[in-house]
Amino acid sequence: MITGIRGFLGSALARSFFQEGDTVCGTSSKGTGPASALPSEIKIARLALGDVVSSRIFEEIDYVIHCAHDFSPGAFEHNVEGTRRIFEAAKSSGVPLQAFVSSYSATPSSVTEYGRAKFELERFFEANAGVVLKPGLVLGSGGLGGRMLNTMRKSWIFPIPSGVRFPYVGLKDFVRTVRKIASTSQTGVHKIFYSDLTSFSEIAAAVKMDTGRPLFTIMVPVNTISFGLSAAECLLDRLRIRLPVRSDSFKSLEANQLTPGGANCGLLPTSHTTLQEVVSAAVRELDHAVFISS
């Protein structure tokens, strides 16, 4: 079972497990209707973080992967308590193992609500013999990486945060690694990203190379971008208009420049692919797939 199964990582994991012959089901706050990104055989139950959880939905489930996250401002307690509630219901139903999809931005010094919630849940899963999956920026057809690539491939000019480098992983390598961790019933914290860091300027250069389109980049201090986005959010949030990239994303990048290394490259089931190969694969997915925002 995958919570948040309609999201970017949830749907990618669901498709991969299903293609390998596993029986897959999931939960979504968006209801039980069919999802165009998923095989019709995958059953989806309506369950939002914070809802009352019945342990009956976990009958015959061997593994739960927690991908659900509420990105609404002020949803810290909602995310933490809602995820714990689902974990406890699954545990009481006899599910032997559960994994939580966290983020490299989850640290003891996280400056964003997203990072703090993820880190709080990391500690909870570690204390309860669970699995913590800690990816870098996942480059694929959705999420923050997908939004960034989608904008770059359509733009002529793109502002680049200066002095920022971060860990990353291709979507296919992330999914294969999670599947391997699940198959071996490994517990603990698993950092899933390549050993080398990348930057927005390197990603922009890879997009330019892949598309063959002109793309001019302008170096801007990351705190300037964060401030500009924060100001825009104050206005647009009142109008219920959500920007494709939030200021929190750049605050996390600025705060996490000293992210500890030590990616579990030994668990990546393929040899490290180049950034160009990862970006090219993601751009192809964007060309042929429905964009998944989160």
pLDDT in tens, 214-266: 889 888 776 776 667 677 667 656 666 655 566 666 666 665 555 545 556 56
Evaluate if pTM is beyond 0.85.
yes
Q: Provide the 8-state DSSP code for 265.
A: G
Residue 86 to residues 212, 223, 274: CA-CA distances in angstroms?
A: 46, 37, 38
Q: How many domains does the chain have?
A: 1
Asked whether residue 174 is domain-assigned, the answer is: yes
- Rounded CA-CA distance 166/5 in Å is 26
Closest CA to 63 of 25, 30, 35: 25
- Rounded CA-CA distance 278/172 in Å is 9
pLDDT on residue 149: 92
pLDDT on residue 8: 94
Amino acid at 230: S
Query: What CATH number is attached to the domain comprising 218?
Result: 3.40.50.720
Amino acid at 17: F
Residue 231 belongs to what domain range?
2-288
pLDDT on residue 2: 98
- Tell me the Cα Rg of the chain: 19
In which residue ranges of the chain is pLDDT below 70? 32-36, 222, 225-227, 229, 232-233, 235-272, 289-294
pLDDT on residue 9: 96
Asked whether residue 294 is domain-assigned, the answer is: no
Tokens of 91: 């545990």
Asked whether residue 96 is domain-assigned, the answer is: yes
Asked whether residue 293 is domain-assigned, the answer is: no
Asked whether residue 259 is domain-assigned, the answer is: yes
